[in-house]
Amino acid sequence: MKAISFDEKTRVFSLRTNNSVYQMQVRDYNTLIHLYYGADVGDCEVDYRIVMLDRGFSGNPYEAGDDRTFSLDVLPQEYSGYGNGDYRINAMECEHEDGSDAIALRYLRHEIKPGKYALEGLPAMFAREADEATTLDITLADAASGLQVHLLYGVFPKLDVITRAVRVLNAGEKVVKIKRAMSMAMDFPNMHMDMIHFYGRHAMERQMERMPLHHGVALVESKRGTSSHQHNPFVILCDHNASERSGSCYGFALAYSGNFRCEVEVDQIDQTRLVMGIHPYHFTFGLRPGETFETPEVIMAYSEHGLGGLSRLYHDAYRSNLIRSRYVTSPRPILVNNWEATYFQFDDEKLFSIAKEAKDLGLDMFVLDDGWFGKRDTDCSGLGDWTVNEQKLSGGLKRLVDRVHGLGLKFGLWVEPEMVSEDSELYRQHPDWVLRVPGRLMSRSRYQLNLDITRKEVRDHVMDQICGIIEECGIDYIKWDMNRSVDNVYSAALSADRQGEVFHRYVLGVYEMMERLVTQFPNLLFENCSGGGGRFDAGMLYYSPQIWCSDNTDARDRLTIQYGTSFGYPISTMGAHVSACPNHQTGCTTPFETRAVVASAGTFGFELDLTRMTAEEKAQAREQIRRYREIEPLVLCGDYYRLTGPYEKKNYIVWQFVSKDKRETAVCGVMLHGEANPHIHLIDLDGLLPQARYQDLDSGRVYSGAALMKAGLPLPIARGDCQPILFRFKRVDGE
């Protein structure tokens, strides 16, 4: 099977993965038409699906002459431009020197080559071996301006993933301003689908919402300078009846951490178009002759095995061909973070006392959060001054790090490199180093401002300080935070006609800083954070193998946060900790064991004052750590199944991990409420071998895989609210 083929006679491109096919065709007047994306259709070309009709008020290209059936307003196009007779949402819009903004893209040529294309300064999936992926580069050209648009496709057959991006080349003789450059467009022949997206807010991210498509435009977007807490750059289109286990599902994930937009339009004849890419809000990008612009990548996947099948495709693809860290499938250090234990009020002895308790419990790492630098006793000052506060840390940071290392623990550190406080030495020395609109008062957020990361001297100044501390002190882990949206968007370093580039250049600057970090310190464990989950996207996973899932550590809220996150992101990428009760964000109380079960669906760690734990709690914590170590290989590398979810109005939420060889499984969850005269709740497991025999490691009882998946397993009787569920099974038939 060829991953990419082109039929010279029919001019049909076929892109094939193990279980899906993507087809497009160069048709009349060198127009590139989309034919199909979905389940494998064998070697058949499906150009017969295109039916030409004369549609009223749908115009025709001049080249079509008297043929009124050929209209770009209704044909399924592969990548549409503005001003060519297509009145639907478009993929590209440009402004030319004469003020016009039309663009007519026609097929010029193509190239098929082994391996995977790369994007300059942008995250993207990669091929570890050349035969893992194949690249298709189709060049479309606008004859009037000389603009060339390269449609890039990366096909990963074994992963069932196709990636898309666009490279724009100004091959003309005049400056062209890009006003809109989406990474991809996709046309479907009907509207009989649901759209699933993941909305939220700070401390309640990625809440799943599912709705049928409707006439008009459905929109998911961020204009906050980040992918945001409010919306996630991952969208699913699926059959109305698609479930976890069955139904056609299409996933679209933008590997980008800035402003984005995903639009889905149902047109006049019930066709559906989806476009995804950089948000056109406050965006223009000037291209002089010979210059290029590249869009971020969209990672597409199709599954006819339901939402669960689609999720597992993304989990596998990201772990194998997006996340570069050495930690992607290796055990992560189980840590304690001091933030909820001390906030800003600590000294070196208090921190060391927590570290000693961590060692006693069997933890692997102590993490020092905010407050260790500059004049930083509250969140009103100190950001930007990455020098050690020796009033808090007597003898300096290295002394504390050495003492913690002496216990046999790793040492982690919190930083917020993109921000500055007005009350800081950096701001007093360089007030022009922030984003600020001339002549206007600035918008504050959390008493901090955005550094102008578009400027190299700013990036270098910050990273020189932080990298110096990492090297001098022997830091093992960095938590990179970002605690406000991007605002006051104007760079003093760019000319007036370049201000529309600030948002995108800011993101490119962040990526450059992170690339320096992971390149200079390849053994560093790097965790991304933006007030928790405000920048939880595929772009960030290219640099960091884990992301702090949410600032909300309440186990009950984490059930929905982690559930929504699991649709598009591996479980191993979710930072999840056991925190104190009553919970610091919600004031709610959940059992200690339940907090651990929920946190085990993630990287696992602790976020509380270990010195205040009772002897009983310490014994429980040691057992929690031991149990997590046993299931950690499943969390990192196994298949994940959502057996039930928080929106099903059931009294339990249950999930399951299964090893790739089907020999081991862990079933975890929470019984939400105690019941008088209770029901007996049976849960059907998934992903096992029907004829294999599995032993419950607690009771010793042996079940067939078929029984566990078809007859079900009784859940424990809840005695009180939020009771933990945990079963572990291992195959015992020896085959």
Please list the active-site residues: 537, 617
The values of phi and psi at residue 462, to 5°, are -65, -50
Amino acid identity for residue 644 in this structure: T
Burial of 483-495, coded b for 16+ CB within 10 Å and e otherwise, reads: bbbbbbbebeebe
Q: Which of 486, 491, 474, 479 is nearest to 443 (CA)?
A: 486
Task: Give CB contacts under 8 A, 24+ apart, made by 369-376.
Answer: 369/337, 369/338, 369/339, 369/414, 369/479, 370/339, 370/343, 370/344, 370/414, 370/416, 370/481, 371/342, 371/343, 371/344, 371/346, 372/397, 372/413, 372/414, 374/424, 374/425, 375/423, 375/424, 376/344
**DSSP summary character for residue 455:** S
**DSSP summary character for residue 342:** H
C-alpha 123/C-alpha 118 separation (Å) is 8
Element (H, E) at 723: strand 723-731
- Beta-strand pair 12-16/4-7: antiparallel
CB 489 within 8 A of CB 538: no
C-alpha 237/C-alpha 349 separation (Å) is 54
The strand pairing partners of 414, in sequence order, are 479
Amino acid identity for residue 225 in this structure: G
The strand pairing partners of 193, in sequence order, are 239
Residues whose CB falls within 8 Å of the CB of residue 582, separated by 6 or more in sequence, listed in order: 588, 589
Neighbours of 620 (CB within 10 A): 17
Neighbours of 342 (CB within 10 A): 17
Strand extents, DSSP E, 189-340: 193-201, 204-212, 216-222, 234-239, 249-255, 260-266, 272-278, 285-287, 292-294, 297-303, 335-337
The strand pairing partners of 154, in sequence order, are 135, 163
C-alpha 597/C-alpha 603 separation (Å) is 12
The strand pairing partners of 299, in sequence order, are 163, 253
Phi-psi group of 439: left, alpha or beta (phi > 0 → left; psi -120 to 50 → alpha; rest → beta)? left
Q: Is 52 exposed, middle or buried (0-12, 13-18, 19+ CB in 10 A)?
A: middle
Neighbours of 649 (CB within 10 A): 5
Residues whose CB falls within 8 Å of the CB of residue 373, separated by 6 or more in sequence, listed in order: 382, 385, 386, 387, 388, 389
CB 273 within 8 A of CB 264: yes
Count of alpha carbons within 13 Å of 74, Cβ hemisphere only? 18
Rg over alpha carbons for the chain, rounded to the nearest Å, is 27
3-state secondary structure of 697: coil
The values of phi and psi at residue 500, to 5°, are -70, -5
CB 526 within 8 A of CB 544: yes
